[in-house]
Amino acid sequence: MRKVAVVTGGVSGIGKAICQELIARHIFVIIADIQEHEGRILEAELNKDAVHAKFVPLNVTDYKNVASVIHDVFEEFHRIDYLFNNAGIAMYGEMGEMTIEDWKEIMAINLWGVIYGTQIGYPLMKKQGFGHIVNTSSAAGLGPSPFSTAYATTKHAVIGLTTSLHYEAEEFGIKVSTLCPTFVDTPIFDNAKAIHMDKSIITKQLKQQKMISPQRIAKMAIEGVHQNKPIICPMPMRKTLDVVFTIFPFLHKALMRMVCKVSRNARLT
């Protein structure tokens, strides 16, 4: 029987590339995203030769919406092999200039969206006795990310949730991984919310970083899933850097101070 995957935030960037990679591996994909018009276009594109995918509108901040989408998939296909809780947004700003509403906005999508998906998908996977949940975090979840404090907060929490559940879920035959990309060339930077900061300057700075293509990260994600890694992180030399920064903490401090200095240049006066 054909395997079934649900991908939130599947219309753009990393989510879209994951959908394409899953289809290439003969897995049926449910693309779940808030962008309905673009979702329908992508659905038609992916189904040009044969039916490989279905688009469903989804707002991950709405618990009832997440529950009905995931339950409907389970009812229709009688299985969910993979659940990628991937939808997310970026937000730049200094803590002192952010409002509680800004915090609630990013927490609702990046953290509660992932919690809802996991909370709803996990019992269904327990019932069927198999399945793999993949929650998208970020390299920003593995360390400090000044001027993206709220984003980093959500992504650290996703790692805590996912790596803990990775072990808790083992006895039920369920696998749980978190994907921690570095810089991936997607619209997330152009769409990011910049609070009292000049987004064009930040975007320019970020785009100077070495960007990975969404297709490459999607391949890495699926390989990491096959290896059942708790953390799938494509950061080259991540382990080496961890060791270097542990032995020479001043190097890490210097790097973070440089990030702050560069980010301050983008602040609006």
Ligand X SMILES: NC(=O)c1ccc[n+]([C@@H]2O[C@H](COP(=O)([O-])OP(=O)(O)OC[C@H]3O[C@@H](n4cnc5c(N)ncnc54)[C@H](O)[C@@H]3O)[C@@H](O)[C@H]2O)c1
Q: Which residues are catalytic?
A: 151
Closest to ligand X by CB, 128 or 235: 235
Closest to ligand X by CB, 194 or 246: 194
Closest to ligand X by CB, 145 or 169: 145
Closest to ligand X by CB, 174 or 217: 217
| Minimum CB distance to ligand X, residue 250 (Å) | 27
| Minimum CB distance to ligand X, residue 161 (Å) | 13
CB 180 within 8 A of CB 159: yes
Closest to ligand X by CB, 6 or 109: 109
| Minimum CB distance to ligand X, residue 180 (Å) | 7
| Minimum CB distance to ligand X, residue 89 (Å) | 5
How would you write the chain as a 3-class SS string?
A: CCCEEEEECCCCHHHHHHHHHHHHCCCEEEEEECCHHHHHHHHHHHCCCCCCEEEEECCCCCHHHHHHHHHHHHHHHCCCCEEEECCCCCEEECHHHCCHHHHHHHHHHHHHHHHHHHHHHHHHHHHHCCCEEEEECCHHHCCCCCCEHHHHHHHHHHHHHHHHHHHHCHHHCCEEEEECCCCECCCHHHHCEEECECHHHHHHHHHCCCCECHHHHHHHHHHHHHCCCCEECCCCCHHHHHHHHHHCHHHHHHHHHHHHHHHHCCECC
| Minimum CB distance to ligand X, residue 227 (Å) | 20
Binding site for ligand X (CB under 6 A): 8-9, 11-15, 33-35, 58-61, 86-89, 109, 136, 138, 181, 183-184, 186-188, 191
Centre a 10 Å sphere on the Cβ of residue 262 and count the other Cβ atoms it contains: 15
Q: Which amino acid is at 182?
A: T
